[in-house]
A and B are shown apart, each in its own frame.
Chain A
Amino acid sequence: MNLFTYQLKQAFLSLKKKPGFVFSVISTMGITLGALLCVLTLAYVMLIKPLPYTDQERIYKIEQAPFSTTSNNSFQGLSYPAALEIYKQKQQFERVAISYYGEEVLTSSESKPLLSTSYVTPDWLPLFNGNMLMGRTFEQRESLNDFAPTAILSHQTWQEYFDHDNDIVGKKISVKGATFTVIGVLSADFYQPKLGRITQLYLPWGYNTASESQKGHWGRFSRSLTMIAMININFAKEQVEQSLTLATDELWQEKVSSMAYFADWQSKVAMTSLKEVLINKSRDSIYLLIAAALGVVLIALTNISNLFISHITTQASVISVHIGLGAKKHHIGKLILVEALLMMTLAIGVALAVTQLGFHILQSYLADVFSRSQELSIDGITYLLAFTFLIMLSVFYTKVSLSVFNFSQMPKNSGNKGVAGQVKSRVRYFLIACQVSIALTLIFLMLTIYKAAMTEIKTPLGFTSEKIMQLTLVSATNEAISDDENKSMLAEIKRSLSLHANIIAVSQSSSPLAGFRVFRRGLKYEGSTGEERIVAGIKDADAEYFSMLNLTLKEGEVFSKAMIADDQAVMIVNDVMAKEIDANGSVIGKRLSMRGDDYFTIVGVVEGAVKVPDQQSIVRQAYLPAEQLSKQFIFEYRSAQAPTKEVLLNIINSVTSKFGVFEYESVENSQKSLLFSQYLTAYTTSILTIITVVLASLGLYGVTHLSTQMRRFEIGTRMAIGAKGKDIISMVINDNAGAILLGVGVSVLTLLALYFGLGERITSYFTLALIPLFIVTLALISLISFLACYLPLRQYINKPVIHALKGSE
């Protein structure tokens, strides 16, 4: 048996006698390191790891970025004609492709599923290494203006709707009234970039569903359009941007020149690397997660350091024997290192299991936030990090343990009773200051973020959401239906719904939570010079909308049935907007225009603003008469339970089989979905706060408990010569106050550094209103610190002095 194996065996036997200590170390370090490994692997995948596409560093998303030359107004997006114009500039690209997202019913399938569809040009799939399981990808014959009726299925679609049909290539499918031939099925390992919805069916670009007006309008940007290109190896990004700007700006200005609003605008082309696009807004979340995980690990580190110190002081007599027999500091260090390595190896095992669980949670619930979460797996990076932690922590705990002993005095003291290692006051000071600063910083940050999330969750919606359902219909037929027929069917569906015993009222409007269209150019009111415009959110509503949602009418009237039927140019505004138009008088009868001389007359003013999550800044709100072609409904139900989807399908089928149900859920559920990230933030921060408080409490208690134990004879002596309980309490508090104050100081400096270092990203969270929260957090930490000082003393100050002095001789 070599020396290491022998030491390993000795360490195992020694630790076997201390299951509580071993369990605490392995569980605490395992869970916290697992969280850190998970977050660091996520950071690597999201921020560092190259995308799994050939020459991924040359792949960019291309957009237009019009900007006003006289104000700070600007925005970014892509219009249909601009996309086609850029598409033509092929000399700068090795590959370029456009996609138009849509949703179509697979009418050839019995279940008529609604599929996410992408209408793409031929290079779309090759850009993303789209290998085929069978068949072929799109070719030039399916290019821009070619109408080759072909289709490619995603692997999942092939499995789910075509039952793994190995003979699918060459078969016909029906989508949107047209027949397409399946030419291929994508391979299971195709990694689809999350640029919007996950596509289930790819169709040639020529069949895209953009409206004619959209196709010709340079000023109308579409969220459905995405343009991706791999730039030629000989070109730099800036060169391509400049060249494309030159090619499109003049054309853009010419095409929008009729719109007065864009008179002083120019347009440039902006390219964002695909990697940056996929990182999107998740960078801050990742940094926050790293900070939180690091904080918790640091607290765990100080706690476990304390446990190691406590453990090693109980081994003092054994170590004294080793020293007496000639062992030097490095020999003792090796003994401790083997123990530390053994425990850290087990902790890393637990950490890897926790990491895997973390990946599962991220992939299941946070795929929308972290677009590359599907790439997460325990791989080389995770193992490398784990190994690094294993070595670093083992060495760290060995050093901490060794710091307890004064080796120059050990042999001299080894024969004395009661001479254990003493926690050096600077070690205690450091541990306490660390605990306090990390805990105070983390708890304050977590509570701040929690408060912000809860404020959003608790913000009243501004309307009654109880017992309101939202329903969206979808066309379920290949037939072309005229607008009049559609209107008639939809009106009949509305009438049938309202006749159901469990339904009180029906409105042919979208859910209030569907949000407002923001009219960036602003509305002009009659008589204004054209410069005075009111930027507002606009929504379509019908006669039933306002009463159903309990939106209080302050003045005038709501839309009548006649106004909706006749499509009258009327408008209802909220009181915030009314005040903006006329601060003192009535706005009824005033006229507002969205473009040109098409004026809407204000007929009513409603009270307050509807608060849509993510659109809370839109406080000026206006309503226009809803289109009778709208397939969106909301209705109020009577009994405790809303009508089931089957009941609704029966009602709709009693009118027509040409519509199916696309979406059906309560407004309250929709609100919860919209507030998902806020709920998630609130849960995560509250759990992290609790973990931090528990870990910090245990850590502070552990340090002071050990320190108090080590000072037992001193405490006994002081009491023997006349110190009272309160004298001892104030002595311990005074001794620790410096470390606590240092911790508070470091925390304040850290928060200030964050405030000034992160600037705007954090200033929205940090306001003076948080001072009371900081005081509460400080009070919490002070209370924890006080209890940590007081509780370990009780065993001495509440008993006769002899208990503290036992063994001192």
Chain B
Amino acid sequence: MSTAILSLHNIGKIFETEELETHALKSINLIINKGDYVSISGPSGCGKSTLLSIMGLLDVSSSGEYFIEGVNVTDLSLDDAAEVRNAKIGFIFQSFNLIDELSVFDNVALPLRYHADKPNNATIKKRVTECLEKVALSHRISHKPNQLSGGQQQRVAIARALVANPAVLLVDEPTGNLDSKSGDQVMDVLDQLNKAGTTICMVTHDPRYADMARTKVQLLDGTILQSPAIKIAS
């Protein structure tokens, strides 16, 4: 039986200004199980990134309930949410979000430094090296991000997302800032990671890459369009 990693029940998100109320997400129900590779796609402004932010505890929903590995995380405090993000979620951003002043090693090691049970330096070194090997960048360990190409930077970001052994990788437009060759390389890395058992949920507007996922979710106007492959939370 599949184990639910992320479970969203009737998640809604409303953005309010003084004059306007925008329903970015409307009653989203979605379950992502261990080992899934889910792509979320849809036109611009359909709520893809908002959904990913809520799934990654970067933002809070306006309504509904959200569970990570069976634990209700809907109303966590900011600090508790930070702990959950650190332990359970690995992020990969469109613009890599590496820290320019830090070396590749330090960028990748960063999640471990914020870990509740901060591992010792030897463990950190071992984990960072393993993750960089997975993305074929162990030879760039001492470089600064601005010394790497865009594709290499994104692979460093993938290594950083993996380093704390998260339950799921949340990936936001991973190829948005890359040329097609680098984009393909990054997608290959993600594919291999999923095949090795990593759960991935990816937002993309590129149908070619969306098709690489085993489960495709189409969003339109904040609502999931039904698809045979989608697991809907009951």
Contact = CB atoms under 8 A, between A and B. Distances in A.
A725 B110 contact: no
B16 interface: no
B91 A809 contact: no
Pick the most buried of A713, A714, A724, A725: most chain B CB atoms within 10 A of its CB. A724
B56 interface: yes
Given A724-B79, A808-B93, A802 B99 contact: no
Nearest to B112: A722
Interface in A53-83: none
Contacts of B173: 809
Interface string A796-809: 01101110010011
A717 interface: yes
Given A808-B93, A809-B93, A798 B78 contact: yes
Contact of A719 (B53, B82, B176): B82
B9 to A, nearest CB: 20
A721 B111 contact: yes
B176 A722 contact: no
Contacts of A721: 85-86, 91, 110-111, 114, 160-161
B58 A722 contact: no
B83 interface: yes
B133 to A, nearest CB: 20
Contacts of A809: 49, 93-95, 172-173, 176
Nearest to A721: B111
B15 to A, nearest CB: 11
B59 A801 contact: yes
Given A800-B60, A809-B176, A722 B97 contact: no
Contacts of B115: 722
Interface in A700-740: 713-714, 716-725, 727
A737 to B, nearest CB: 16
Contacts of A802: 53, 58-59
Given A801-B58, A805-B58, A809-B172, A722 B82 contact: yes
Contacts of A10: none
Given A800-B58, A801-B58, A722 B164 contact: yes
A727 B94 CA distance: 25
B21 interface: no
A425 interface: yes
B97 A725 contact: no
For chain A, which range describes its interface: under 10, 10 to 19, 20 to 34, or 35 or more residues?
A: 20 to 34
Interface string B98-112: 010100000000110
B86 A722 contact: yes
B59 to A, nearest CB: 4
Nearest to B86: A722
A553 to B, nearest CB: 73
A802 B60 CA distance: 9
B114 A722 contact: yes
Pick the most buried of A720, A722, A723, A800: most chain B CB atoms within 10 A of its CB. A722
A717 B101 CA distance: 14
Contacts of A719: 82
B19 to A, nearest CB: 20
A722 B173 CA distance: 21
Contact of A723 (B57, B114, B160): B114
A325 B78 CA distance: 46
A808 B157 CA distance: 15
A722 B60 CA distance: 16
Pick the most buried of A721, A724, A805: most chain B CB atoms within 10 A of its CB. A721
A720 B85 contact: yes
A727 B99 contact: no
Nearest to A713: B97
A722 B95 contact: no
A808 B93 CA distance: 9
A425 B60 CA distance: 34
Contacts of A727: 114
A719 B93 CA distance: 13
Which secondary structure dominates chain A's binding surface? helix
Contacts of A425: 101
Contacts of A798: 78
A725 B83 contact: no
Given A714-B99, A720-B56, A801-B58, A725 B172 contact: no
Given A719-B82, A797-B78, A798-B78, A724 B93 contact: no
Contact of A720 (B49, B91, B95): B91
A723 B116 CA distance: 10
A420 to B, nearest CB: 14
A716 B97 CA distance: 9
Contacts of A800: 58-60, 78
Contacts of B110: 718, 721
Contacts of A720: 56, 58, 85, 91, 93, 97
A327 B46 CA distance: 41
Interface string A405-427: 00000000000000000000100
A434 to B, nearest CB: 22
Interface in A761-809: 797-798, 800-802, 805, 808-809
Nearest to A727: B114
A223 B164 CA distance: 87
Interface in B65-104: 78-79, 82-83, 85-87, 91, 93-95, 97, 99, 101
Contacts of B93: 717, 720, 805, 808-809
A723 B56 CA distance: 14
Nearest to A722: B86
Nearest to A720: B91
Contacts of A725: 78-79
Pick the most buried of B86, B172, B176: most chain A CB atoms within 10 A of its CB. B86
Contacts of A718: 99, 110, 114
Interface in A381-406: none
Interface string B209-227: 0000000000000000000
Contacts of B111: 721-722
A274 B95 CA distance: 74
Contacts of A714: 97, 99
Contacts of A716: 97
B74 to A, nearest CB: 13
Contacts of A723: 82, 114
A658 B127 CA distance: 106
Contacts of A717: 93, 97, 99
Nearest to A719: B82
Nearest to B88: A722
Nearest to A726: B79
Nearest to A422: B100
A721 B162 CA distance: 11
Contacts of A808: 93, 95, 97
A714 B99 CA distance: 6
Contacts of B83: 722, 724
A800 B53 CA distance: 10
Interface in A611-643: none
Contacts of A805: 58, 93, 97
A720 B176 CA distance: 19
A716 to B, nearest CB: 8
Interface string A114-148: 00000000000000000000000000000000000
Contacts of B49: 809
A717 B94 CA distance: 12
B81 to A, nearest CB: 8
15 contacts: A717-B97, A719-B82, A720-B58, A720-B97, A721-B86, A721-B91, A721-B160, A722-B86, A724-B78, A724-B79, A725-B79, A797-B78, A805-B58, A809-B93, A809-B95
Across the A-B interface, the 3 shortest Cβ-Cβ residue pairs: A722-B86, A722-B114, A717-B97
Given A717-B93, A720-B56, A797-B78, 15 more contacts: A717-B97, A719-B82, A720-B58, A720-B93, A720-B97, A721-B86, A721-B111, A722-B86, A722-B111, A800-B58, A800-B60, A800-B78, A801-B58, A808-B95, A808-B97
Interface of A: 425, 713-714, 716-725, 727, 797-798, 800-802, 805, 808-809
